[in-house]
A and B are shown apart, each in its own frame.
Chain A
Amino acid sequence: MTYTAWILLTASLVGLSCGIIGVFLILRRMAMMADAISHTVLLGIVTAYLITRELSGVHMLVGAIIAGLLTAVLVQWFHSRGVQQDASIGVVFTTLFAIGVILIATQVGNVHLDVQHALMGEITFLPWNTIHLPVIGDIPKATLMLIVVFLVVLAFIIAFYKEWKITTFDAGLAASLGIPVVLMHYVFMTLVSITTVASFDAVGAIMVVAMLITPAAAAYLWTDRLSVMLVLSGAFGVISAIGGYYLAVWIDTSISGSMAFSTGILFLVSFIFSPNHGLMSRVVKPYTTTE
């Protein structure tokens, strides 16, 4: 595959995984948790590096899962003791992120790991950092990790589709039916963590929030069905990723920045033109009735 093809494939996988996870983030009103986890996984990655002295996929994933769950548990713990939910998120993630930043600055030294990279990502270099697999051949490490994470996310969403739906819509009923609502919450936080860390190399901690939230928010405007929203959100993620790449090439700028910008444009278009919620729908169909 060519250099451009690898970048497009990697970016599309980011858009797809983030788009799917983002739907449940939005419907569970947890957009802020995505912001939090996207930052605290840095601490997980740094800690994993300090323990193993390796920056490989598995170590990063494990570190990110632990950091993500730690974030979720701490936020819940403070909240249950009377701290406002949003304040709790704000306190926990900035503190954990700060520890990550301090560790990078003081302990890590001369490795391919710096704050700039963690925040903004650098998809441009990814195709050169490859691993050799039987049958498939050379594949960029980041792409391989994203494929694995995407398949895991997809498997979990499909296998527990109705459980995700009911715990999201009505956690009280779900619990009364014997569905483990709390466990599902932490499984979901784990999925958010691995999606974030896999997307990290490509788009960085800040842009991953855009990829998680904006395509899902746009998809929400177009449909009244959860399954359609999932497909649309994934598609919007891919369109933003590919569109963003060509935009970046065209005006010669940051790829991750252009991708995030594209999600914003898609949202704006949806906000104006969507059939039920859009601004234009009020102007265009004044003669149709909803009843």
Chain B
Amino acid sequence: MSVLAVRDLSASYHKNKVLYDVDFEINQGSLTGIVGPNGAGKSTLLKVMLDLHPKLSGSVVFFGKNLSQTKTRIGYVPQRGSVDWDFPTNALDVVLMGLYGKIGWFKWPSKKDKALAMASLEKMGMADYANRQISQLSGGQQQRVFLARALVQDADLYFMDEPLVGVDAATESAIMETLKQLKENGKTVMVVHHDLLTVEEYFDHVMLLNKTIVKHGRTDETFTKENVQATYGGALRWMKEA
């Protein structure tokens, strides 16, 4: 069943076209890696779909509806570097932010909300750091807090922008374990990913992107030498040869 249908999407940054003719569907329960060279428009694709960056053309349909009707069913994890980690707040508070949309206007987070946030931190192995100021967390711990915040949203469709960048090995496996659990629970996840070596291990679907979709499909069929080279250009040395 298709949970996301994108048709003829295009977008630009300061008159430079960064995405064109993007056309794809995502099925429920899939775990898709979005892979492509720097400047391929991977992050932009997520932002355009979520209306965080204007689109020039095209349509995006979530669960057969438009974005504004389905916001509570969508979770977004921005790049870790996109926020100011010196902000005066602690880990638990950041996770609570994932619930702000559901809590609604003029209301404060309840005890139940805090318990949910705490449980989510615990899932990511971060319960001991709940009251730690966020600048005192390591890169991996900060990313776990972001993941905990996504989990507490209890969404059906997740978009994650480079969640594995700059994290330690333990965090990387913890995050991948979490993503697999999400998938097993019928959730759908799209992840911007940069490490070609782990694509086959981590994702059942892959989207090869370079301003437009070069290839998109099941990883075992799509992640081939020819397709990856077509995405990255001739410069790439195929890692399996080495």
Q: Is the CB of A176 within 8 A of B88?
A: no
Q: Is the CB of B89 within 8 A of A178?
A: no
Q: Decide yes or no: A176 and B84 within 8 Å by CB, A159-B106, A170-B78 being known contacts.
A: no
Q: Is the CB of A177 within 8 A of B82?
A: no
Q: Decide yes or no: A165 and B89 within 8 Å by CB, A172-B76, A176-B76 being known contacts.
A: yes
Q: Decide yes or no: A290 and B76 within 8 Å by CB, A179-B101, A223-B88, A226-B88 being known contacts.
A: no
A137 interface residue per 8 A CB criterion: no
Residues 36 to 79 of chain B near chain A (Cβ within 8 Å): 47, 50-52, 68, 71-72, 74-76, 78
Residues 156 to 176 of chain A near chain B (Cβ within 8 Å): 159-163, 165-166, 168-170, 172-176
Enumerate chain A residues within 8 angstroms of B90, measured Cβ to Cβ. 224-225
Enumerate chain A residues within 8 angstroms of B52, measured Cβ to Cβ. 172, 175-176
A162 vs B87: C-alpha distance when bound (angstroms): 14
Q: Is the CB of A225 within 8 A of B109?
A: no
**Which residue of B has the minimal Cβ distance to A229?**
B88
Chain B contact-residue range equals: 20 to 34
Shortest distance in angstroms between A200's beta carbon and chain B's nearest beta carbon?
29
A165 vs B90: C-alpha distance when bound (angstroms): 12
A178 vs B101: C-alpha distance when bound (angstroms): 7
A82 interface residue per 8 A CB criterion: yes
Residues 192 to 232 of chain A near chain B (Cβ within 8 Å): 220, 223-226, 228-229
Enumerate chain B residues within 8 angstroms of A27, measured Cβ to Cβ. 84, 87-88
Enumerate chain A residues within 8 angstroms of B101, measured Cβ to Cβ. 177-179
Enumerate chain B residues within 8 angstroms of A179, measured Cβ to Cβ. 100-101
Residues of chain B at the chain A interface (Cβ within 8 Å) = 14, 47, 50-52, 68, 71-72, 74-76, 78, 82-84, 87-90, 93-94, 97-98, 100-101, 103, 105-106, 108-109, 133, 136, 149
Residues of chain A at the chain B interface (Cβ within 8 Å) = 27, 29, 82, 159-163, 165-166, 168-170, 172-179, 220, 223-226, 228-229, 290
Contact of B100 among A82, A166, A168 (CB under 8 A): A166
10 examples of A-B residue contacts, CB within 8 angstroms: A169-B89, A169-B97, A172-B78, A176-B75, A178-B72, A179-B100, A179-B101, A224-B90, A225-B89, A225-B90
Enumerate chain A residues within 8 angstroms of B93, measured Cβ to Cβ. 165
Enumerate chain B residues within 8 angstroms of A162, measured Cβ to Cβ. 97, 100, 103, 108-109
Q: Is the CB of A224 within 8 A of B133?
A: yes
Q: Decide yes or no: A220 and B76 within 8 Å by CB, A176-B71, A177-B71 being known contacts.
A: no
Q: Decide yes or no: A169 and B71 within 8 Å by CB, A162-B103, A175-B52, A224-B133 being known contacts.
A: no
A177 vs B97: C-alpha distance when bound (angstroms): 10
* Residue of B68, B100, B136 contacting most chain A CB atoms (<10 Å): B100
Enumerate chain A residues within 8 angstroms of B94, measured Cβ to Cβ. 169
Q: Is the CB of A163 within 8 A of B100?
A: yes
A225 vs B132: C-alpha distance when bound (angstroms): 11
Q: Is the CB of B50 within 8 A of A166?
A: no
A225 vs B88: C-alpha distance when bound (angstroms): 5
Q: Decide yes or no: A176 and B50 within 8 Å by CB, A223-B88, A290-B136 being known contacts.
A: yes
Q: Decide yes or no: A170 and B82 within 8 Å by CB, A162-B100, A165-B97, A177-B101 being known contacts.
A: yes
Contact of B89 among A161, A173, A220, A224 (CB under 8 A): A224
Shortest distance in angstroms between B191's beta carbon and chain A's nearest beta carbon?
16
Enumerate chain A residues within 8 angstroms of B84, measured Cβ to Cβ. 27, 29, 169
